Amino acid sequence: PPTIGVLALQGDVREHVRALESVGARALAVRRPDELDTVDGLVIPGGESTTMWRLAVAFDILEPLRKHIAAGMPAYGTCAGMIMLADRIEDGAPGQQTIGGIDMTVRRNAFGRQVDSFEAPVEVTGVDGGPVEAVFIRAPWVESVGAAARALGHVSRGERAGRIVAVRQGGLLATSFHPELTGDARIHRLFVDMVKGQA
């Protein structure tokens, strides 16, 4: 089975470890740059992207992350992790940097403060068996995807219908929502298949 790291600077690391193990991957928390050499892919969890960015700088892992991603390491980011994988962000903190890799513009905290948290079904391209029940927690949305990236899912109904919330570019995957919190591991399975070169 592939070994998948979960970036463990901050955020919901354990939930991702569990979800990855439930689909047969080996999962381990990653904090140091040299640990990136030992994994076949990386999950960047939900949490708070400004904190994650500051800790990545403090732990000297921001540049190594950029290098590994530029060299083709597959990665999957949820929520704050999606922000970290975006080439461009709106409403970031002053000076906020990302790892980048996906040709998209992501708006931080886009779903608004009154609606900090909600659930909605999302049909995700490449995921069979019906829509994923997506959990959004102070979630970003994708303002726009560039030519290199592809939208895989949108909010299906309500006031936010049509907003892009899942994106893929080659070996990089990002969702605004948190499948690690729902017990539905289909998106983790998709990512593990991507790491294996089977999706």
Q: Quick check: 87 binds ligand GLN (CB under 6 A)?
A: no
Return the structure tokens found at 95: 């000076």
Q: Determine whether 68 is an active site residue.
A: no
Catalytic residue among 15, 16, 68, 79: 79
> Which distant-in-sequence residues (6+ apart) come within 8 Å of 183 by Cβ?
none
Q: Determine whether 154 is an active site residue.
A: no
In angstroms, what is the minimal distance from the CB of 197 to ligand GLN? 28
48 labelled binding-site residue: yes
Q: Quick check: 109 binds ligand GLN (CB under 6 A)?
A: yes
Return the structure tokens found at 132: 């994923």
63 labelled binding-site residue: no
> Which distant-in-sequence residues (6+ apart) come within 8 Å of 27 by Cβ?
3, 4, 5, 6, 16, 17, 20, 21, 43
Cβ-count burial of 90 within 10 angstroms (0-12 exposed, 13-18 middle, 19+ buried)?
A: middle
In angstroms, what is the minimal distance from the CB of 111 to ligand GLN? 9
**Residues in 36-55 that interact with ligand GLN by CB under 6 A:** 46-49
49 labelled binding-site residue: yes
Q: Determine whether 188 is an active site residue.
A: no
Question: Can you tell me the distance from the alpha carbon of 168 to that of 67, in angstroms, rounded to the nearest whole number?
Answer: 19
> Which distant-in-sequence residues (6+ apart) come within 8 Å of 113 by Cβ?
none
Contact string 56-85 vs ligand GLN (x = CB under 6 A): -----------------------xx--x--
**Residues in 157-186 that interact with ligand GLN by CB under 6 A:** none
Q: Between 3 and 109, whose beta carbon lies closer to ligand GLN?
A: 109
Question: Can you tell me the distance from the alpha carbon of 75 to that of 157, in angstroms, rounded to the nearest whole number?
Answer: 28
Question: Can you tell me the distance from the alpha carbon of 78 to that of 83, in angstroms, rounded to the nearest whole number?
Answer: 8
Q: Which residues bind ligand GLN (CB under 6 A)?
A: 46-49, 79-80, 83, 108-109, 137-138
Q: Return the active site residues.
A: 79, 178, 180
